[in-house]
């Protein structure tokens, strides 16, 4: 079993590499946060499908990319060695509102728009554009 110190960074890198290789989908190790992040991206329309495959000890996430959307620009902001926490007033729109930031808050994973609307801050995981 491979131990990852940064499962979110690994997921984003796998997605970025698969899109640069022009693959329609990618697989990544399953974790609860990875699944919630992928479901949030699907709900926002950035990816097409998210599926959990495999048995319990070796589950993986299968991410299918949207054919209508161009390749995603995924950038990890908060890292294991340097956590980045922001308040809702510090959240600025990504690409003037065309992108999205993902935060982990006390209410779960939220986009930057949802966090500003609910007036809640948290750890800035990544930006997507």
Q: Is residue 60 part of a domain?
A: yes
What pLDDT, on the 0 to 100 scale, is given for residue 97? 84
User: What distance separates the 2 farthest-apart alpha carbons in the chain?
Assistant: 42
Q: Which of 31, 44, 1, 124 is nearest to 14 (CA)?
A: 31
Q: Confidence class of residue 2 from pLDDT cuts 50, 70 and 90? A: low
State the SS3 of 7-39.
HHHHHHHHHHHHHHCCCCEEEEECCHHHHHHHH
Give me the CATH number covering residue 107. Answer: 3.30.1490.10
Q: Is residue 2 part of a domain?
A: no
Tell me, yes or no, whether 11 and 61 share the same domain: yes
Q: Is residue 90 part of a domain?
A: yes
Tell me, yes or no, whether 55 and 84 share the same domain: no
Q: Angle of helix 7-20 relative to helix 32-43, nearest 10 degrees? A: 50
- Per residue in 21-63, pLDDT (tens digit) is 999 999 999 999 999 999 999 999 999 999 999 998 899 999 9
Q: Give just the sign of the alpha carbon dihedral 56, 6, 94, 92.
A: positive
Tell me, yes or no, whether 22 and 46 share the same domain: yes
Burial 88-126 (b: 16+ CB within 10 A, else e): beebeebeeeebbbbbbeeeebbbbebbbeeebbbebbb
Domain containing 47: what range? 7-65
Q: Confidence class of residue 86 from pLDDT cuts 50, 70 and 90? A: very high
What DSSP state is assigned to residue 1? Answer: -
How many separate domains does the chain show?
2
Tell me, yes or no, whether 61 and 102 share the same domain: no
């Amino acid at each position: 079993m491979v131990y990852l110190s940064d499962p979110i960074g690994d997921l984003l890198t796998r997605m970025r590499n698969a899109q640069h290789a022009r693959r329609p989908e990618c697989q990544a190790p399953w974790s609860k946060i990875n699944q919630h992040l992928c479901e949030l991206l699907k709900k926002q329309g950035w990816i097409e499908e998210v599926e959990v495959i495999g048995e319990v000890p070796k589950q993986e996430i299968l991410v299918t990319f949207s054919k209508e959307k161009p390749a995603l620009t995924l950038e990890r902001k908060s890292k294991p060695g340097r956590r980045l926490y922001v308040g809702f007033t510090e959240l600025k729109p990504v690409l003037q509102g065309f992108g999205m930031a993902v935060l982990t808050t006390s209410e779960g994973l939220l986009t930057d728009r949802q966090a500003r609307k609910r007036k809640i801050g948290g750890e800035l995981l990544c930006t997507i554009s």
